[in-house]
Structure 1
Amino acid sequence: MTPPEATAPVGETGRMTDTSGLSPERILDVAEETIRRYGPTKATVVDVARALGVSHGSVYRYYPSKVALRDAVAERWLARVSTPLGEIAGSAEPAPARLRRWLRELSGTKRRMAREDPELFDTFHRIATAARGVVTGHLDILAGQLALIVADGVAAGDLVADDADRAGRTLLQATARFHHPAHVAEWADPALDDDFTAVIDVLLRGLGAR
């Protein structure tokens, strides 16, 4: 029996459409381009389907609504930030140095995205802001990665913290100026790197870093 994704449904014009190459990743690739072209409020599932050359029903098989599709786009965009950070969090580097590198990577990634394509950065920030559940999950991932580093540091005697989870979330909140898109207008400040270093130094001293 032919699987649903391999069938060729009738498109909106009455012609058969080939969905054999359709996949969640392919849909998200085109959805990102469509959102960039039309904007997050005007882009529709029909626009994405048209760009893919399939019926909108074919897209709905993977993403049952416009909200679900936008959430998936936001989740993938945020994963581009959190995935490399996860590799740093899980490395064998001493916790204080690892913590400093993780926070620099987060700040540097966000600032680079905003600098290289400010329009796209703003677009995806608006999408992510609307997908509150996705953003909450993303922040939980980031705080969890920081908590892992802190817990490793405590175990090695390099850091002091009564609650690694709370410490991880506090570190994320305390450095928001350097990575949260709400502060994007401040990222061109020539003194930002010096301010960032000063904040990290204070935070590490607060954790009793050796």
Structure 2
Amino acid sequence: MAKTGLTSEELKEKVMQITEEKIRYYGFEKFRLTDIARELKISHAALYNHFPDKAALLDGISARWLTQMDNTLEQLSQKEAPARQVITEWFLKYHELKKEKVLKDPELFKSFNMAAEILKPFIVNHLHHLNEQLLILVQKAIATGEIRGESPEKVVQLLLEATISFHHPRMVLDHKDEQREPLLQRIVEVLLDGLT
């Protein structure tokens, strides 16, 4: 355990929590690792053992948020309901989670958006998880006759491409003040109708 009395994982979590608070208060550009170390009463070296630089800390915060999102969507994807219904709900929840972050944590979302633009490994991992979840739902919808499609992978690609403005970080930010959920629901339903 560190001098703080926290385990290594608890310390990392505490660092991320304090960083989030600092970013919310001072903004994305102004927080410093030295401020975080001082608040936790640890040396800069102890902090650097967990996060070698500011970018690594910001990536840790974004990765944690994406893991939470993946878990929420995973739970939804296992819902006992017709697969077609779950696919629509899945897209609505995906959009809601992105929009919620933009509205509640705009400064933290900036960091996530920068990481997404250069496809950092944790972003690629997140996209892989989402693709897998949607693929399972589409396979189920095809197996139960709710939709048709020779290639579930192509159906997933079609759905993701057609709804990109509702989940791409930059586009969610651009439309953050709009109520686009009914439009998203209609788009997904029209796409699924076309596959019926």
Common fold: TM-score over 0.5: yes
Q: Give the CA deviation at 1:74.
A: 1.1
Aligned twin of 2:177: 188
Q: Note the alpha carbon deviations across 1:165-195, whole angstroms, 9 max, x for none.
A: 33223322221112223122324345x3342
Aligned twin of 1:141: 129
Question: How many Å separate the matches in 2 of 1:19 and 1:128?
Answer: 33
Q: Give the CA deviation at 1:55.
A: 0.9
Q: Give the CA deviation at 1:41.
A: 4.2
Q: Is the 8 A contact 1:147 1:169 kept in 2?
A: no
Unaligned runs of 5+ in 1: 1-5, 8-17
Q: Is the 8 A contact 2:37 2:44 kept in 1?
A: yes
Matches within 5 A, 1:40-189: 40-126=28-114, 128-129=116-117, 132-183=120-171, 184-189=173-178
The runs of at least 4 aligned residues of structure 1 exceeding 6 Å deviation read none
One-letter amino acid of the structure 1 residue matched with residue 174 of structure 2: A
Aligned twin of 2:4: 19
Structure 1 residues 93, 102: closer, same or farther in 2, change over 3 A? Answer: same
Greater share of residues in helix: 2
Q: Is the 8 A contact 2:131 2:156 kept in 1?
A: yes
TM-score when scaled to structure 2?
0.82
Of structures 1 and 2, the one with the larger relative CO (CA 8 A, separation 6+) is 2
Question: How many Å separate the matches in 2 of 1:117 and 1:74?
Answer: 11
One-letter amino acid of the structure 1 residue matched with residue 6 of structure 2: G
Q: Is the 8 A contact 1:145 1:168 kept in 2?
A: no
Structure 1 residues 68, 121: closer, same or farther in 2, change over 3 A? Answer: closer
Question: How many Å separate the matches in 1 of 2:123 and 2:195?
Answer: 27
Question: How many Å separate the matches in 2 of 1:25 and 1:69?
Answer: 11
TM-score when scaled to structure 1?
0.77
Q: Is the 8 A contact 1:144 1:165 kept in 2?
A: no
| Total equivalences in the alignment | 192
Unaligned runs of 5+ in 2: none
Q: Give the CA deviation at 1:42.
A: 4.2
Q: Give the CA deviation at 1:115.
A: 3.2
One-letter amino acid of the structure 2 residue matched with residue 179 of structure 1: H
Q: Note the alpha carbon deviations across 1:36-58, whole angstroms, 9 max, x for none.
A: 34444443432321222111221
Q: Compare CA radii of gyration and give the structure with the larger one.
A: 1
Q: Is the 8 A contact 1:89 1:145 kept in 2?
A: yes
Q: Note the alpha carbon deviations across 1:90-130, whole angstroms, 9 max, x for none.
A: 22221100101101111122223333444444454345546
Aligned twin of 1:205: 193
Q: Is the 8 A contact 2:103 2:176 kept in 1?
A: no
Secondary structure of 2:76's counterpart equals: helix
Question: How many Å separate the matches in 1 of 2:91 and 2:150?
Answer: 21
